[in-house]
Amino acid sequence: MRVSWITEDEHVQSVVEYGTEAGKYSAKAAGEQTHYQFLLYRSGAIHHVKIGPLRPSTTYFYRCGGSGPEFSFKTPPAELPIEFVVVGDLGQTKWTRSTLRHVESKEYDVFLLPGDLSYADTLQFLWDSFGRLVETSASGRPWMVTNGNHEIESIPIILPHRFEAYNARWLMPHRESDSSSNLYYSFEVAGTHVIMLGSYTDFDAGSDQYKWLRTDLARIDRLRTPWVVVLLHAPWYNTNEAHQGEGESMRKAMEELLYNARVDLVFAGHVHAYERFTRIYDNKADSCGPMYVTIGDGGNREGLALKFKNRGSPLSVFRESSFGHGRLRMVNETHAHWAWHRNNDADAVEADQVWITSLSSTKSCWHDTSSAARDEL
């Protein structure tokens, strides 16, 4: 696990003390410190420390920098079952707080966020307030995130398109997954391979991201890792009037790779609503394609995307403009349960749910995979 935190004092050591008993730290790890400058803003000292090896399904108590408050977190299980929470376009509003309150009302193992975290949009103090807002949640469970359009920081003529604040603050395991960029990476936990893609960096067939994805997919052992899940920001399929077609070029570039690898699910954000599609490949229902879900309804200050196309699509199974979050429980090697929970005053109402069969156990799909497709992988 990597522990990240920020201090105003740059002389604080980048160390984490930790152990399995409160107030007793049997281990200690040192890491690195960085900072960044954005116009007149200079960040505090950003500390990143990797701790471990850690035991699965174990609560660890820890403190950062040699002093200060004690935190605790629980490690994910080593084997199935495992439960992921999925929240997109989070922001920092009263709706955000409602979503996080509903998320924390029930146990889960890993938090997945398909882009648009703080909605700082170059206002750097909003990155700091976002950190304070999510600290309780993010200090207790692994938060695995990817970038969205609101992570892009640019000022015409003065500053180019970049992700400096995001990359400095939210360091993900890209080096550990042989990626050259923090904007895309993968990790494995409890029989599940999770791939985080970058919608706003090069993704065509000649790009580093495309080549990395092809290699990463080819390495997956579906006997050991039966589930493959992909997260990205701009949805490839969308019947909402908002952001129509914005993920189309990425879909055309990468969809075949995901299809040939028999990816089980693809989660996206960007559209501030919830929508679940059937299994799809190339704009047609396909039992061997991924199930697509848009879940960009975490909170954010821009509000909900209220207008869906009147006619919709036969590929779209359920859609609703409400704030909420999703829970994906990998029950065993063959079956998973997905549920979207609407934020409804005091309770998170389970408004949509479906059982999913892993494509790794669907023999007909693998029989249909041609040798040419395998060569592509």
Catalytic residues: 243
Taking each continuous run of H as one helix and of E as one strand, the counts in the chain are 7, 25
327 beta partners: 85, 339
Distance CA 279, CA 80 (A): 23
Q: What are phi and psi of 10, to 5 degrees?
A: -75, -5
- Burial annotation 285-322 (CB, 10 A radius, 16+ → b, else e): ebebbbbbbbbbbbbbeeebbeebeeeebebbeebbbb
- Give the 3-state secondary structure of residue 333: coil
Provide the 3-class DSSP secondary structure of residue 177.
coil
Distance CA 163, CA 91 (A): 17
Decide if 168 contacts 45 (C-beta within 8 A): no
CB 144 within 8 A of CB 151: no
With H, G, I as helix, E, B as strand and everything else as coil, classify residue 6: strand
Q: What is the DSSP string of 85-125?
A: EE--S--SSHHHHHHHHHHHTS--SEEEEES--S--TT-TH
Residue 22 three-state SS: coil
End-to-end CA distance of the chain: 30
